[in-house]
Amino acid sequence: MNIKLSYDIAKSDFSKAGEASSNIKKVLRQLGIPADIIKRIAVSTYEAEMNIVIHSDGGRIDLLVTPEKIQVKAVDKGPGIKDVELAMKEGFSTAPNEVREMGFGAGMGLPNMKRCADEFHISSSLGNPTEITIIVNI
């Protein structure tokens, strides 16, 4: 049996940031998914969610749970990433100072997503939406 959930993520809405990843964590617990897998999905989903809040014009996170894997797809509405290879480096960030002052924007989002995933795919270019797919095998 497959389970699909979708969450809209608003630009710059720090008051709701983290709600999607928290909800996904609860759902996975209810499904009896092992704790180590839940942690990997929760961390990667939170990082994706925060990137949408901080860097984009809003977006969506889709969850697909199958008997074999959990897939998280994060798609934003732009503005895209100028240099994906550079953005994947730990510590690189384009977050504005006000976001850093709140404790976000340390440049660990994309590297953490990749580290938590069994499969990680990112598609982005300047002026276009960014699409990230994270797969964790069960």
Separation of CA 47 from chain center: 5
Determine how β-strand 69-76 pairs with β-strand 3-9: unpaired
Number of H helices and E strands in the chain, helices first, is: 5, 5
- 17: domain CATH number is 3.30.565.10
The pair of structure tokens assigned to 131 is 């699409």
- Name the residue range of residue 22's domain: 3-137
Q: Which 8-state DSSP code applies to residue 106?
A: -
85-130 pLDDT per residue, tens:
999 999 999 999 999 998 998 999 999 999 999 999 999 999 999 9
How many domains, in total, are found in the chain?
1
pLDDT at 1 over 90: no
E strand or H helix at 87, and its extent? helix 84-87
16-28 pLDDT per residue, tens:
999 999 999 999 9
